[in-house]
Amino acid sequence: MEVYVSCSLTGGRQDQPLVAALVAHLEARGHRVLTAHLAHPEAMAQDAGLSPVAVFERDTEWLRACEAVVAEVSTPSHGVGFEVAYALERGKPVLCCHQAEVRVSRMLTGNPSPLATLAAYRDAADLLPQVDAFLSAR
Ligand SMILES: O=c1[nH]c(=O)n([C@H]2C[C@H](O)[C@@H](COP(=O)(O)O)O2)cc1CO
């Protein structure tokens, strides 16, 4: 599947090791991750040469092209919240993953859309089977 992985950049990159494990896992299972660059610790620096409009146009094109979104939502992020809403409005299934102990916005936990799924996890070993189950159900 073509998968759009979404994660916080501007507000903090503490989830980057988990995102790297997620992207590696998805690619090993034969999925194409459109946002694979987000796995890199220097993802923001890599995009620094692009204008804000270019980032917006590239990412919204990928969101329209993808078959599913896997969003890491433990760290609050304007961009991730926007991407989740943009994808849901276009009929894409979205999995919002968060560390079990963090508090997540009620604008995500309260979303009644049948396309929106939440996954609480302890670590990558706990999360990855949940991601596999989410994608296989599509
Ligand atoms: O340079 C960037 N490149 C980029 O692709 N994004 C996208 C991908 C991420 O899923 C999301 C992160 O948004 P934010 O920077 O507000 O945390 O936005 C965000 C930025 C910086 O805002």
Convert the pLDDT of each residue in 64-123 to its tens digit.
999 999 999 999 999 999 999 999 999 999 999 999 999 999 999 999 999 999 999 999
Q: Answer whether 27's CB lies under 8 Å from 36's CB.
A: yes
Calpha distance 24→35 (Å, rounded): 12
67 C-alpha to ligand 1 centroid (Å)? 19
Q: Which of 3, 4, 5, 9 most suits a substitution to test ligand 1, by most atoms within 8 Å of the C-beta? A: 9
Atom number, ligand 1, closest to the C-alpha of residue 78: 16
Q: Tokens representing 11?
A: 């507000």
Find out whether 42 is annotated in a ligand binding site.
no
**Residue the block writes with tokens 């991601």:** 131
Calculate mean pLDDT across residues 4-33.
97
Q: Please report, for the domain that includes residue 92, its CATH number.
A: 3.40.50.450
**pLDDT attached to residue 32:** 98
Band of residue 38 on the pLDDT scale cut at 50, 70, 90: very high
Calpha distance 15→17 (Å, rounded): 6
Total domain count for the chain?
1
* Structural domain boundaries, residue 22: 2-136
Per-residue pLDDT at 138 exceeds 90: no
Calpha distance 65→35 (Å, rounded): 12
8 C-alpha to ligand 1 centroid (Å)? 7
Q: Is the ipTM of this complex over 0.90?
A: yes
Band of residue 36 on the pLDDT scale cut at 50, 70, 90: very high
Residue 40 Cβ < 6 Å to ligand 1: no
Residue 44 Cβ < 6 Å to ligand 1: yes
Residue 8 Cβ < 6 Å to ligand 1: yes
Q: Answer whether 135's CB lies under 8 Å from 67's CB.
A: no
Determine phi and psi for 3, rounding to 5 degrees. -120, 135
Q: Which of 57, 69, 73, 77 is nearest to 115 (CA)?
A: 69
Convert the pLDDT of each residue in 62-75 to its tens digit.
999 999 999 999 99
